[in-house]
Chains A and B, each alone.
Chain A
């Protein structure tokens, strides 16, 4: 070694690695060790799907409204309650929650579930995010909500739309989920009017942040796939600050976080019509 400072840096890295690998109670563990791999989560999701039919939402008009939110990071539930109240009192067909709903603790999941509206009053679709995985949080998610890779369709008086929910909470879809998605688009996309994809990690970097995105190779494959199969919109969270970019014929949206205490806390309102889709980022404050 050339200098004692290098020795200290390497020693610090080794100590951090050993500590985080040995004591799973720290969230830093997830930097070095997979909790549950995305392939394992996908297999569990597929198993759950085989016993639960994909939901079909019938709407009596030719247009409808979806709300989407992400990054509530429960913890506390002030904004979550306000959001669900808005969803219940406006005529929305469903709510899609794109991950980081909790901070991964079992107590957070319990609190979230307590505040989740009854299925008879509001249709909700949860997806897992990276924070939901912390502290072995996938077990809690799966036990309470089931699959994180699934689809639902919305049938209007004139057409049917395809909504696909994906698990990229580990920064990748994994090879199995990607194969499932590819096959789904190949086989069924022409049967539907619009196609919307919901997932947690946002795709592109428009600001400096320590939150990560899918690797470049995966983005390259997904961009081509979404172009070929005319995916209309990709809705994500994760970055906590909203962004909208039209690239090709696909809108890539990132939503504001719903987390309490943020000045920009908000959600997405999506009005789907026969001739297109209108979206608006709504603030709670």
Chain B
């Protein structure tokens, strides 16, 4: 999928927000990442926007990511779309999500991921588990330029385990909160099951239907090889805007 189609899809999703059920709760989430890692050659800066539309127990979300400063030569670096449904099994809140992510990480290659997640969260804890299929593929430019044969264009990995285990200090609807999460999932990146990331987060709800948040992510390599090594970190700061705010 090229960047124009992806951005058009995001715009359509954003425009659809607000056109339906008045009881629905659309949200916009914009954030910026600043960090460095072993392959970034110094500071990297990414920005992303996600539109979320919740109607009843259903939720649709779509977003894009752009690289403002990175070794990646193309600015557009990610597009995601997901659908979720919340339900209860004997007083136990669960959510199930299906997602598809594409990351054109270079001029020559792209990565796609699709999969599902089962999620549970209560006042303090958040837990999710699922799977994804990862495919690396060469883009047309590379296929032409390097004469890549048909049988060597794509590489499919085996089903990957995705997980997230988080704890928030205060109940979820508090005005402010801090917490931590151990996970291998981010909005536009899914690490291998053996490469967990640590995220510390803080959130503050403003009086208007706006929330601001900051996150610090730490990535290590080789932890499950029992030979851990620093890989990288980044800070994320963002704002969540609930377009039609109704106090729950």
Identify the A interface with B (CB < 8 A).
Answer: 1-2, 6, 27-35, 37-38, 130-131, 133-134, 169-175, 178-179, 201, 204-208, 210-218, 220-221, 223-224, 227-228, 230, 245-249
Contact assessment for A174 and B227 in the assembled complex, using a CB-CB cutoff below 8 Å: no
Contact A171-B39, Cβ < 8 Å, known A2-B123, A223-B136, A224-B108: no
Which of B39, B138, B225 has the most chain A CB atoms inside 10 A of its CB? B225
Give min CB distance, B134 to chain A, whole Å: 8
Judging by beta carbons under 8 Å apart, are B146 and A214 in contact?
no
Of B25-33, B152-160, B237-245, the one touching chain A: B152-160
Q: Once the chains bind, are B227 and A133 in contact (CB under 8 Å)?
A: yes
Let me know if B222 and A212 touch, CB within 8 A.
yes
Partner of B194, one of A30, A207, A212, A221: A212
Minimum CB–CB distance from B66 to chain A (whole Å) comes to 16
A-B pairs with lowest CB-CB distance, top 8: A171-B222, A171-B221, A170-B229, A212-B194, A30-B226, A172-B221, A130-B227, A130-B225
CB interface residues, B 95-114, toward A, < 8 Å? 105-106, 108-109, 111
In the assembled complex, B170 has its CB within 8 A of some CB on chain A? no
Complex contacts, A33 vs chain B, CB 8 Å: 228
For the complex, what is the distance from the CA of A217 to the CA of B38, rounded to whole Å?
9
Partner of A2, one of B71, B125, B191, B222: B125
Which B residue sits closest to A32, measured CB to CB? B228
B231 at the interface (CB under 8 A from A): yes
- New A-B pairs, 10, CB < 8 Å, besides A34-B228, A206-B158, A227-B108: A29-B226, A31-B226, A35-B227, A38-B229, A171-B222, A175-B39, A215-B231, A218-B39, A228-B108, A245-B155
Using a CB–CB distance below 8 Å, which chain B residues touch chain A? 37-41, 71, 105-106, 108-109, 111, 122-125, 136, 138, 142, 146-149, 151-152, 155, 157-160, 167, 189-192, 194-195, 219-232
Bound together, the chains give a CA A201 to CA B229 distance in angstroms of 13
User: In the complex, what residues of A have CB within 8 A of residue B106's CB?
Assistant: 220, 224
Give the complex CA separation of A215 and B230 in angstroms: 11
A81 and B225 alpha carbons, distance in the complex (Å): 26
Would A227 and B109 count as touching, CB distance under 8 A? yes
Best-surrounded residue of B147, B158, B224, B232 (most CB of chain A within 10 A): B224
| A240 CB → nearest B CB, Å | 13
